[in-house]
Amino acid sequence: VEIGCKDCHGTAQSYPTLRTTNPAAPPGGRDLSLIRNPDGKRRFEWVGDRLIQRSIVNPGMEWEMSLVKDTVTPGNPDYNPKAARAKLMSAGTGFEWGMAIAPENLAHKDEEMACFSCHTSWTTSCGGCHLPIEANWKTSRHHYEGGETRNFATYNPQVARDQMFQLGKHDSTKNGIIAPVRSSSALVLSSTNVNRERIYVQQPPISAAGYSSQAFAPHFPHTARKTETKTCTDCHLSEANDNNAIMAQLLLHGTNFVNFVGFNAYVGEAGGLQAINVTEWDEPQAVFGSYLHRYAYPDNWAKHQANGREIRWLGEPGGFVTSTQSGGPTGCLQLRGEYLIAAQGSSGTTAYDVASIANKGVADRILSAPVSPLGQSLHIASSNATCVALPTNQNIHPARNQGELMRVANEEQPFHPIYDYAFITDSAEGLILTDVDTLANFEARDNFLTRALTWNDGGILDGARHITIAGHMMYIAADAGIVVLDMDEPLVPKVAAVIGLDDVRATAVQFRYLFAATGRGLEIVDVTHPDRPKVVEGALVPLADARRVYVARTYAYVAAGGEGLAIVDVEKPEKPALHMLFTAGGQIDDARDVVVGTTNASLFAYVADGVNGLRVVQLTSPELQANFYGFSPVPNPELIAWKATEWPATALSKGLDRDRAVDETGHQMAIFGRLGSRPFNLEEQRAFYLDDSGDPWFVTDEVRDDDRRDRTTRASSK
């Protein structure tokens, strides 16, 4: 693109030169004042103090260009205090703004950020597409040599939304300026062969750089506005402290809202684990019993209702099929790619092969190994494995991100070493690390997991029962409280802090806050500085038996045992408020875990309801919640499906993160689609909300004239 914003609108310091300046411009730029429309009139023309642009489509139509310098100049008819404050804000946290601020001292310099970072009204983001490839569909090839193919893939968009505002660094040709970022090509792939066998299901591919294919890209959203712009609290901490989720979204940490649970919900149980089919296979892949299911598959929905909403009819030959694997009491489990990693008490931790989970030609669909243990052993024996977590549940392969091709030609950042490992907690042995790169290296002869580290210095992790990973900082629930480990060097753990909460069962993190399910209920910890955590006094939602917590944007969902599903408003994390206790009329009375995900336009909760099995709850829909398209619509839950399990349901695999590109310590895990573009590193992230002393600073959208600093005179010439 040859033309830039300032070429026609100017800057706060100068009027436009009408010469193009963007990367595609010729040396010296192209003079836009020389361009004439078909009717012979100039496309751009100064008329007195006004710059006029004339339409090329409609002869006779013209309009006055908005000039930035006029909008920030007091006394000018076009002066706009809001615009002046944004463009002339000083760097640092003094909040002085105005004409007296020297250009080199401005917070929002033209050479450091794109104008449309603030002038964007909204950005379209897609949570990804499902591409089911079908054999024996004869279609034309659209690329390369042409011809015909016997395989056909349809593109089925998922979760297209317009309220996911995110920022990052633009590509090298734009000198890495700050710009809006969107989710751009987050694919999951399935394939059905000529025998109608689903040989792989909803697999996210891995990029050539080893990053996940949940791709992001800086871009121009084409929604630039003069009035409906972004405000200060869209990018910085608000004085009301009510934008923690917005900040997590902005910095590409993800919000756990648009996560992809998919065709199967993976349920950990007291005696093993199970894959339970929760959606239709054909597109749209509606969740059984949902609003979409009723309208897209009315016959199937009616049969589902007739079955008392029990999941036991699939709508295709063979009926409903569920896959089960015994192995021990499952405390935590996580799907990544074609492997399901589960911590199963005295049975240790195993990475199960679930590649054939929907393949009708395979009888045993959840495998510990397709061959004898001599040829493959993805098992870590331990005394009492209580939980397992991965730094990301996106499919990655760090070993690809090596060498000159990646660093120089592709301008990719290296992976942080934590992404090589799975992290296991054991109540007796503490923390166990195992290198899981072998699961993605295409080499079948080294499919063995071994311990890379066993650590429990001084017994500090005795009773370890849950782990939450936030970049290279890890929060482990143990007898001592919540032990915060700095794993910047994964094989040399350092205790950063111990949070003295009693009876901690599980935790979840969102940007500056850690949410802890404890014997008292839901408690909140400020982890702005993970090495200096502060329990927020008075931030307690009492619950009789909080088991697990899941935070999705501005709501925390707590599996609360006999009280069912507790939904807590955490828009202001330091002032959490119970929104409701949902039991579906007493049907949910043993809730032990919960995850949330989005399918198409609706939000769903999946509840591991102990002796009752799996419960599927629709949280939003056009019927349940008229404002279901907002950033964080108020949940209005309805139990829409359930399935009894082989053993009491104890845990659930979290859905694929579809809006997370970087972790809380600034380490990238998702591919960016433009050369040299990337998410912010930790130092760059902290500049949005911490001062030079490391203290948080807060902003308001109110224009405060007391902070204005203007020169007494200002030259004006066009």
Per-residue confidence (pLDDT) for residue 314, from 0 to 100: 53
Considering 322-331, 564-573, 627-636, the range whose residues carry the highest mean pLDDT is 564-573
- What is the distance between the alpha carbons of residues 320 and 314, in angstroms, rounded to a whole number? 5
pLDDT tens for each residue of 328-350? 999 999 999 999 999 999 999 99
Q: Taking a C-beta distance cutoff of 8 angstroms, is the pair 88, 74 a contact?
A: no
Q: CA 543 to CA 536: how far, in whole Å? A: 17
Q: What is the pLDDT of residues 111-140, one digit of tens each?
A: 999 999 999 999 988 888 999 999 988 888
Q: Is the pLDDT of residue 717 over 50?
A: no
Token couple for 206: 């891995």
Mean pLDDT (whole number) for 221-246: 96
pLDDT of 713 strictly over 80: no
CB 255 within 8 A of CB 550: no
Cα 492 versus chain centre, distance? 29
> Which residues, including other chains, have CB under 8 Å from residue 182's CB and lie 6 or more apart?
123, 124, 125, 126, 164, 166, 216, 217, 219, 221
pLDDT for 231 equals 96
> In whole numbers, what is the pLDDT of the chain averaged over residues?
94
Q: Which residues pair with 182 in a beta bridge?
A: 217
Residue 363 has pLDDT above 90, yes or no: no
Amino acid 710: pLDDT: 86
Q: What pLDDT score does 321 carry?
A: 63
* 592 within 8 A of 608, measured Cβ to Cβ: yes
Q: What is the DSSP string of 134-194?
A: EEEEEEE--STT--EEEEEE--EE--EESB--EEEE--GGGTT-EEEEEEEEEEEEEEE-T
Q: What is the pLDDT of residues 476-525, one digit of tens each?
A: 999 999 999 999 999 999 999 999 999 999 999 999 999 999 999 999 99
Q: What is the pLDDT of residue 718?
A: 45
Residue 214, token pair as written in the block: 């949940």
Closest CA relative to residue 44, chosen from 60, 36, 3: 36
Helix (H) or strand (E) run with residue 543 in it? none
- Give the C-alpha separation, 125 to 161, whole Å: 5
Terminus-to-terminus CA distance in the chain, angstroms?
A: 26
**Res. 686: pLDDT tops 90:** yes
Better pLDDT: 185 or 313: 185
Which residue type sits at 64?
E
Mean pLDDT confidence for 181-209: 92
Secondary structure class of 417 (helix, strand, coil): helix
Predicted confidence band at 167 (pLDDT cuts at 50, 70, 90)?
very high
The whole-angstrom separation of Cα 32 and Cα 19 is 6
Give the CA radius of gyration of the chain.
Answer: 27
Nearest to 244 by CA among 616, 580, 664, 641: 664
Distance between CA atoms of 342 and 652, rounded to whole angstroms? 10
Residue 302 has pLDDT above 70, yes or no: yes
List the beta bridge partners of residue 618. 604, 638
Question: Which of 85-89, 376-380, 442-446, 554-558 shows the lowest per-residue confidence on average (mean pLDDT)?
Answer: 442-446
Residue 549 burial by Cβ neighbours in a 10 Å radius (0-12, 13-18, 19+): buried
Least confident stretch, 158-162, 439-443, 569-573: 158-162
What pLDDT digit, counting tens, does each position of 379-422 carry? 999 999 999 999 999 999 999 999 999 999 999 999 999 999 99
- Longest Cα–Cα distance of the chain, Å, equals 85
Of 58-72, 143-157, 582-596, 696-710, which range is least confident? 143-157
Distance CA 625, CA 634 (A): 7
- Note the pLDDT of residue 373: 86
Each domain of the chain, given as residue ranges in start order, spans: 1-65, 83-110+691-718, 125-238+666-686
Cβ burial of 153 (10 Å; 0-12, 13-18, 19+) is: middle
Residue pair 673/217 in contact by the 8 Å Cβ criterion: yes
Question: Please, which pLDDT band fits residue 278 given cuts at 50, 70 and 90?
Answer: very high
Q: C-alpha distances in angstroms, 26 versus 4, 18, 19, 20, 175?
A: 13, 14, 10, 8, 17
Residue with tokens 């397709």: 370
pLDDT of residue 319: 46
Distance CA(440)–CA(400), nearest Å, equals 10
Q: Where are the beta strands (DSSP E) in 600-715?
A: 602-608, 614-618, 638-643, 649-652, 670-672
pLDDT at 716: 42
d(CA 213, CA 262): 17
394: left (phi over 0), alpha (psi -120 to 50) or beta: beta
Which pLDDT score, from 0 to 100, does residue 320 have?
Answer: 57
More confident residue, 72 or 713: 72
Quote the DSSP letter at residue 413: P
Summarize pLDDT for 525-550 with one digit per residue, the tens: 999 999 999 999 999 999 999 999 99
Nearest to 411 by CA among 216, 680, 171, 177: 171
Report which secondary-structure segment, H or E, holds 93: none
Q: Which tokens belong to 193?
A: 């062969």
Residue 261 has pLDDT above 50, yes or no: yes
pLDDT of 132 reads 94
